[in-house]
Amino acid sequence: MRTRPMLCSSILVMLVGLCVVAAVLADGVKLRGSGASFPFPLYGLWFKEYGKIHKDVIIDYQAKGSGAGIKDFMNKTVDFAASDAAMTDEEMAAVDVGVQLLPMTAGTIVLSYNLPGGPKDVKLSREAYTKIFLGQVTKWNDPVITKANPGATLPDTGITVVRRADSSGTTFVFTQHLSALSAAWKNDPGTGTNVNWPSSDKFIAAPKNDGVAATIKQTPGAIGYVEYGFAKNGKLDMAWLENKAGKFVEPTIESGQAALAGVQLPADLRAWLPDPDGDTAYPIVSYTWMLFYRKYSDPKMAETIREVVKYCLTEGQKISSKAGYLPLPASVVAVVEKAANNIQ
């Protein structure tokens, strides 16, 4: 009989505890997002770290590709999305509650390759890598490649080009760059999240950045375009590329930051760098955007989103370079922080 008060007291404490947990969950916020695979490793890290601090917030982001993310966003099946190709004016006009694009990070697109018996620091001229992706250079020892690599032994190995299978912002940025270099490329295939690649059995399609990286790693003679962090984490070789100044530049955080240095964000926050200036600038660099609605029906969700954005622009930028991404310049952070107030 003496144990009954203690038992009842224990049960009461447990019930109170469960009620507190239930209240926290009821008051919490779950954000659903989808889109670009390009920034996925960094976004995943940001959202995980944010969740450790704010246990009542769950952020579920699916890396489907930029095109799929924009489609989900326009269909309002997600709370936010992400794209390396931003959104077009037409796409934004179709969203009745308004759209706020925020550049949240930037990164470099590298040409990774798998060349057994070849050098680890292959240099590719603008002519060489444009012709490779046009299907006009098909051997690693082609003179247009060997010319930029004096003294290096380049094997008589066929080139297999690995490109994206899905609607991709990474493809948009890469093809925009090639269009800036080559009139032939600009005319066809041109710029887009999907383009008509050369018809060849030496072109292989793979989904998302991780799929391209894995395919390159598994295919001797392969070359493909991926975000720097995927290549770095996959221990893939990365070519030095000739930039606008005629210098061969290694893909690094520093050479990516040099490319960003001269870019001014316009009012709509959509800035492109198809062929950046500067002796030390890496030639293929892009901002990548998160896409938010300007009006949310739930005030708590809007407030949470603004807080998440603030975290990503402050604490998040401090860990960007470790994940292989380019921290935003302070001037850009200030502009994006102000624009985030449009999310209501």
pLDDT for position 7: 37
pLDDT at 1 over 90: no
Q: Where are the domains of the chain?
A: 27-107+285-342, 108-260
pLDDT for position 100: 98
Given a contact cutoff of 8 angstroms between Cβ atoms, the answer to whether 207 and 225 are in contact is: no
User: Range with the lowest mean pLDDT among 64-78, 257-271, 315-329?
Assistant: 257-271
Q: What is the pTM of this model?
A: 0.88
Three-state SS sequence of 57-123: EEEEEEECCHHHHHHHHHHCCCCEEEECCCCCHHHHHCCCCCEEEEEEEEEEEEEEECCCCCCCCCE
- Cα 12 to the chain's mean position, in Å? 50
pLDDT for position 140: 98
The whole-angstrom separation of Cα 232 and Cα 108 is 11
CB burial of residue 93 (10 Å; 0-12, 13-18, 19+): exposed
Query: What is the CATH superfamily name and number for domain 108-260?
Result: Periplasmic binding protein-like II (3.40.190.10)
pLDDT at 277 over 80: yes
Residue 192: CB atoms within 10 A of its CB come to: 16
pLDDT for position 115: 97
CATH code reported for the domain at 27-107+285-342? 3.40.190.10
- b/e string for 2-11 if b means 16 or more Cβ within 10 A? eeeeeeeeee
The set of residues, in sequence order, having a beta carbon less than 8 Å from that of 2 and lying 6+ positions away, is: none
Q: Any idea what DSSP says for residue 139? A: B
For the residues 229-234, what does the mean pLDDT come to?
Answer: 94
Q: Report the interhelical angle of 330-339 vs 299-313 (nearest 10°).
A: 180
Beta bridge partners of 225: 111
The whole-angstrom separation of Cα 242 and Cα 125 is 5
